Chain A
Amino acid sequence: MSEVQTVENMVTISIDGAQYQAKEGEYILNAARANDVFIPAICYLTRCSPTLACRICLVEADGKQVYSCNAKVKEGMEVTTSTPTILEERRAIMEVYDVNHPLQCGVCDKSGECELQNYTLEIGVDSQSYMIPDTKRETTNWSSVLHYDPGLCIVCERCTTVCKDMIGDAAITTAKRGGADLDKGYKESMPKDAYAMWNKLQKSVIAPSNGTEFTNCSDCGECLAVCPVGALVSRDFVYKSNAWELKRIPAVAAHSSDGAQIYYEVKHGSIEDRTEKIYRVTNEWNFVSLDGSARFAYDFENRGADNTGVKKDSTAFAAALEAFKKAETIRFNAMITNEEALMLQTLKEKMGLKLYNPEVRAFQKFLGYYIAASGSSLYSTDTDAIMKKSDFVIAVGTALRHDSPALKYAFNNVQKLNKGAGLYFHPIADTLIAGFGKSVETFTHKAGLEEAVLYLILDLFADKEKLPTEVKAYIDSFKTTETQTITEKVEKTIKEMVLNEETGEEEEVSKKVKEDVQKEIIVTTNGLVDLLGGDSSKFDDVFAKMMSKKEAFSLMVGEDFYFHPKAENLAKLVALIEATCNMDVVMTPPKSNALGVALICDLDDTATGYTVGYNENGDFRLSALGDGDLDMPAMNQQEGTLTSMSKRVLPTNAALEYEGYELNDIVKALVGAPEHTIDWTQMLPVSKGFKALAFDTLPNAFTNDGRDNRGYVLDVTRQEVQLPAVEPFDQSVVLEGEIAYRCNPARQFNDFTDKSHEIFETFSLYASPAKAESLGEKVEVVFENGSIVLDVVSDAKMEGDIVKVPDFKAAKDVYGLFGASRYQTVTIRKV
């Protein structure tokens, strides 16, 4: 095991006379916040680089004025948060922010939770001393979800900062405002920082960075979340509700396996319709960043087939009980709580039913191989730890932009904040990821060569002492050394005797002449690099640069591995990497609660006989989509826990009412069960790392210093095992020809995201612009065991010929088409 044990050195600082402990190297602002001391700050975002746009976080440290968001703590530092000069600066800054800011707070969506309102009151701005002519700024819609009102914008740059440092899209940037110049007299009369801040503010607005009117981004909406004023609001939410009318329900994002913290914000539908509806999703944006599915796919609740709400339908319930008694198999997916998974497992144990879940089964098998090979009951790291510690990240076998937004954010954040480097191996080139940083190298390898990638990682990072000799020899067999003769130009000084015509004497003159010299050098070619689509002659230098000053390494492993014909060998290689390289590993559970299901349920490989489908196809369908034989509550209508990629068991609460039957009622009638679904929480299997804690005792918040204190972390047990015996990689599984890749567009994960009205990504074939053009508008993708007709959509961030086929509609049974692999050779026919 190579877990990086960073013992954080604590230093003692004093703020306004009181002594506090702070982590060494931390910014004063963060140290103060962690200790519950208030320093005003507008532009700073906890996990992003300081922008220094607002300058309001000014403090005095050891007698010198510094910006607390950007000055680090030192042992014995004495910080004063407010002095008369600082208060004067802050007052002037807030007055400047209020210059020409519209006073119609009544109609603003942010009113009541607006930081400009708060700070104006906090600092006590009751008069205005500055003025400047206003510039006309038009409201625009940047995308299908983003709405920007520059008239309200205070150009704190939080949106651009989060988009660049966290999300990685860098889709927005500051642009010229074309405003009037400041009156020269202000330079003398105003406090210095306030003038500098105003000078910058007056010149800029925010605009899409691609030069057009529209952003080309993943529409995650994180810019909306961080906006301190009403300038950025979701198009759907504009003028719909005031912030204070909404009731916040703490929950967990249901679609991806990130387990992001969210609040569902609910209010009655309208004057006529008093049933509660979710109006928007918000998050603790200083500590967690959401993807588009978490933020915008919220209205997937089950309101029945006629959209009037679900009532207890006893005939359907009786039919469901009959179906369960008749059934041989239950087919379900990862969109299920831990408690429900345990209920299904109980049904399996007591009634002998088969549990069929192809989505999770592959992951479960892979985890099993990994556990056997590594002796560790789970992988070693998580996204939060990567962002806090790692400075070198490697992603293999995952379409980072689509599979796991949190890992994409972590990959990007490491480049931007930890001065990190990154390697991205994937058969589909992604221009966005290549642009995350200067030290990001992307390899576009052939589908099926994932084993070779892991061998290359072993070659690059492994401690050669620890590596088994045969593996070492195998890796070395790819290296060829040859002696090359190269020609170098060398400058030589030649002395010549020249006859001086004037004096008639011979003089010595030195002259510089370039000469070609033949030289012999030894060149090592790493065959693995070339095999994976890299250029071995250049890679050595590039890699050496990437490795300088790097200490903490992380490996991100994705869904391609689970659905790989050589999954077992891959798992062993991952375990070997963890054992021999100084590297942590994180695996992305495919979708939602895949990790929880993999740990709790004993899944079967095949479905036989009469099948009950839970949100899936089946002879009898339990469904939270409103189209089944018996209605079930959707994820925003039920309590329970979800297991996230970060190995956390997270409690989620019911945001909307649901009056129908739950799975617990069925289990109760069939084999007996406790009264509530959440009574199962404490019965989750302790042997798999769960804890016997009751649902109501689980905490659900972040602490002030940003520590995730939601639910609990699974216990990870370790056993000493021998280094796994790995096999050489198998080139026969490499796919050639036309290849389809099972991959959803960003923001789409399942039928529930598709049902949500703010998600617009269609069920289409996604291809690089060049490929899309050659394919035309509509194609039929023919697999060995069936075909599917899809519209073609061009994805500007994709490169190459491999096309992406989404799987988010269960009814289309794309899992069936792809079978045991995520890549398939297909024939694509124009329709």
Chain B
Amino acid sequence: MSLEHFKNRNIGTQHYTTIDVGHTPVGAMQTFTQVAKRTVKGELFVGLWVTLREMINALFKGDMATVKYPFEKLPISPRYRAIHDMLRLLESGSYRCIGCGLCEKICISNCISMDTRYDENQRKEVSEYTINFGRCIFCGYCAEVCPELAIVHGPRYENASEQRAGFSLFEDMLTPIDKLNLQQEYDGFGAISPNADDNIKKTPLAY
């Protein structure tokens, strides 16, 4: 085990490097040249033409390029990665999550956290689970790594909030028990492939 990180006692004085953002004009002459170049170029009219064309199409030909969100919503691909859902077992209604911690481990923005405990039935129980959506980058690794198909990406992409960080707890993401019959099986990231059965080799069992 390396002892290096125990030796740095100057927390917060790490070195940062800035990235190259290009050339900034120096002096009045260079600034003027830049403005003149940008003004005289014909790119402006290209843009104006595109706008005009689309306006004519929408107004007179009924060819509307946008939907009237939020009154209208486009269908979403099952592979779309929005706010997570925690699924239940269809038969018993128990959580699918077994608290193995793989999602927490694989999460590259480190936004998943869970508490587990030894419950009365000698099983591992997830006592709390949270995702920090202020940090989540919706990469889908958690859903992909989940061995129980317990955490999946749902279709709920409207997650604007008044605060920078929004947290979801286990209860928020879990399928409500009275809506268990409406729970959709997930086809997206991490779902088993259609030919999964062909790839399985049986373990010999004596019974």
State A729–B3 Cα separation when bound (angstroms): 52
Closest chain B residue, CB of each to CB of A183:
B206
Closest chain B residue, CB of each to CB of A233:
B118
CB-based contact A132/B206 at 8 Å? yes
Interface size class of A (residues with CB under 8 A): 20 to 34
Residues on B with beta carbons closer than 8 Å to the beta carbon of A701: 1
The yes or no answer to B15 lying at the interface (CB within 8 A) is: no
CB-based contact B101/A245 at 8 Å? yes
Q: How far is the CB of B123 from chain A (nearest CB, A)?
A: 7
The yes or no answer to A700 lying at the interface (CB within 8 A) is: yes
CB-based contact A238/B206 at 8 Å? no
Q: Beta-carbon contacts of A584-595 to B below 8 Å, as 1s and 0s?
A: 000000000000
CB-based contact A106/B6 at 8 Å? no
The yes or no answer to A9 lying at the interface (CB within 8 A) is: no
Residues on A with beta carbons closer than 8 Å to the beta carbon of B206: 131-134, 180
State A823–B128 Cα separation when bound (angstroms): 54
B residues near A, CB below 8 A?
A: 1, 3, 6-7, 9, 98-102, 104-105, 113-118, 122-125, 128-130, 147-148, 201, 203-207
State A105–B102 Cα separation when bound (angstroms): 11
Q: Beta-carbon contacts of A254-289 to B below 8 Å, as 1s and 0s?
A: 000000000000001011000000000000000000
Residues on B with beta carbons closer than 8 Å to the beta carbon of A268: 113
Residues on A with beta carbons closer than 8 Å to the beta carbon of B6: 249, 653
Residues on B with beta carbons closer than 8 Å to the beta carbon of A241: 116
The yes or no answer to A250 lying at the interface (CB within 8 A) is: yes
Residues on A with beta carbons closer than 8 Å to the beta carbon of B105: 242, 244-245
State A105–B99 Cα separation when bound (angstroms): 11
State A625–B57 Cα separation when bound (angstroms): 78
The yes or no answer to A481 lying at the interface (CB within 8 A) is: no
State A249–B206 Cα separation when bound (angstroms): 46
The yes or no answer to A755 lying at the interface (CB within 8 A) is: no
What are 15 A-B pairs with beta-carbon distances under 8 A? A106-B98, A106-B147, A111-B100, A128-B204, A131-B204, A131-B205, A239-B116, A240-B117, A241-B116, A242-B101, A244-B101, A250-B1, A271-B115, A653-B6, A676-B9
Residues on B with beta carbons closer than 8 Å to the beta carbon of A133: 206-207
The yes or no answer to A470 lying at the interface (CB within 8 A) is: no
State A789–B173 Cα separation when bound (angstroms): 57
CB-based contact B102/A106 at 8 Å? yes
Residues on A with beta carbons closer than 8 Å to the beta carbon of B1: 248, 250, 701
State A239–B114 Cα separation when bound (angstroms): 12
CB-based contact A271/B128 at 8 Å? yes
Q: Beta-carbon contacts of A572-584 to B below 8 Å, as 1s and 0s?
A: 0000000000000
A residues near B, CB below 8 A?
A: 104-107, 111, 127-134, 139, 180, 238-242, 244-245, 248-250, 268, 270-271, 653, 676, 696, 700-701
CB-based contact B99/A130 at 8 Å? no
Closest chain B residue, CB of each to CB of A639:
B6
Q: How far is the CB of B58 from chain A (nearest CB, A)?
A: 50
Q: How far is the CB of B147 from chain A (nearest CB, A)?
A: 6
Residues on B with beta carbons closer than 8 Å to the beta carbon of A245: 101, 104-105
CB-based contact B117/A107 at 8 Å? no
Closest chain B residue, CB of each to CB of A149:
B122
Closest chain A residue, CB of each to CB of B167:
A271
Residues on B with beta carbons closer than 8 Å to the beta carbon of A127: 201
Closest chain B residue, CB of each to CB of A180:
B206
CB-based contact B7/A696 at 8 Å? yes
Residues on B with beta carbons closer than 8 Å to the beta carbon of A111: 100
Residues on A with beta carbons closer than 8 Å to the beta carbon of B100: 105-107, 111, 242
CB-based contact A270/B115 at 8 Å? yes
CB-based contact B99/A107 at 8 Å? yes
State A134–B203 Cα separation when bound (angstroms): 14
Q: How far is the CB of B1 from chain A (nearest CB, A)?
A: 6
CB-based contact A270/B98 at 8 Å? no
State A190–B203 Cα separation when bound (angstroms): 18
Q: How far is the CB of A690 from chain B (nearest CB, A)?
A: 21
CB-based contact B104/A104 at 8 Å? no
CB-based contact A271/B102 at 8 Å? no
State A104–B98 Cα separation when bound (angstroms): 9
Closest chain B residue, CB of each to CB of A249:
B6
CB-based contact B204/A129 at 8 Å? yes
Contacts A132-B206, A245-B101 given; does A271 touch B130 at CB 8 Å:
yes
State A20–B124 Cα separation when bound (angstroms): 48
Not counting A106-B101, A107-B123, A131-B205, a sample of 17 additional A-B residue pairs whose C-beta atoms are within 8 angstroms of each other reads A128-B204, A131-B204, A239-B99, A239-B116, A239-B117, A240-B117, A240-B118, A242-B101, A242-B104, A242-B105, A244-B101, A244-B105, A271-B114, A271-B129, A653-B3, A696-B3, A696-B7
Residues on A with beta carbons closer than 8 Å to the beta carbon of B201: 127
Q: How far is the CB of A640 from chain B (nearest CB, A)?
A: 13
Residues on A with beta carbons closer than 8 Å to the beta carbon of B115: 270-271
Q: How far is the CB of A636 from chain B (nearest CB, A)?
A: 14
Contacts A111-B100, A242-B101 given; does A130 touch B118 at CB 8 Å:
no
Residues on A with beta carbons closer than 8 Å to the beta carbon of B117: 239-240
Contacts A104-B98, A238-B118 given; does A128 touch B203 at CB 8 Å:
yes
Q: How far is the CB of B173 from chain A (nearest CB, A)?
A: 14
State A241–B116 Cα separation when bound (angstroms): 7
Residues on B with beta carbons closer than 8 Å to the beta carbon of A130: 204
State A504–B18 Cα separation when bound (angstroms): 132
State A238–B129 Cα separation when bound (angstroms): 18
State A244–B201 Cα separation when bound (angstroms): 30
State A508–B104 Cα separation when bound (angstroms): 101
Q: How far is the CB of B125 from chain A (nearest CB, A)?
A: 8
Closest chain B residue, CB of each to CB of A675:
B9
State A701–B203 Cα separation when bound (angstroms): 42
Residues on B with beta carbons closer than 8 Å to the beta carbon of A134: 206
Residues on A with beta carbons closer than 8 Å to the beta carbon of B101: 106, 242, 244-245
Closest chain B residue, CB of each to CB of A103:
B203
Closest chain A residue, CB of each to CB of B129:
A271
Residues on A with beta carbons closer than 8 Å to the beta carbon of B148: 106
State A241–B104 Cα separation when bound (angstroms): 11
State A60–B204 Cα separation when bound (angstroms): 32
Residues on B with beta carbons closer than 8 Å to the beta carbon of A250: 1, 3
Residues on A with beta carbons closer than 8 Å to the beta carbon of B123: 107
Q: How far is the CB of B192 from chain A (nearest CB, A)?
A: 17
Contacts A133-B206, A653-B6 given; does A270 touch B128 at CB 8 Å:
yes
Q: How far is the CB of A700 from chain B (nearest CB, A)?
A: 6
Residues on B with beta carbons closer than 8 Å to the beta carbon of A139: 122
Closest chain A residue, CB of each to CB of B114:
A271
Closest chain B residue, CB of each to CB of A235:
B118
State A132–B204 Cα separation when bound (angstroms): 9
Closest chain A residue, CB of each to CB of B205:
A131
Closest chain B residue, CB of each to CB of A242:
B101
State A696–B7 Cα separation when bound (angstroms): 7
Closest chain A residue, CB of each to CB of B115:
A270
CB-based contact A239/B9 at 8 Å? no
State A700–B1 Cα separation when bound (angstroms): 9
Residues on B with beta carbons closer than 8 Å to the beta carbon of A271: 113-115, 128-130
Residues on B with beta carbons closer than 8 Å to the beta carbon of A105: 100
State A139–B125 Cα separation when bound (angstroms): 17
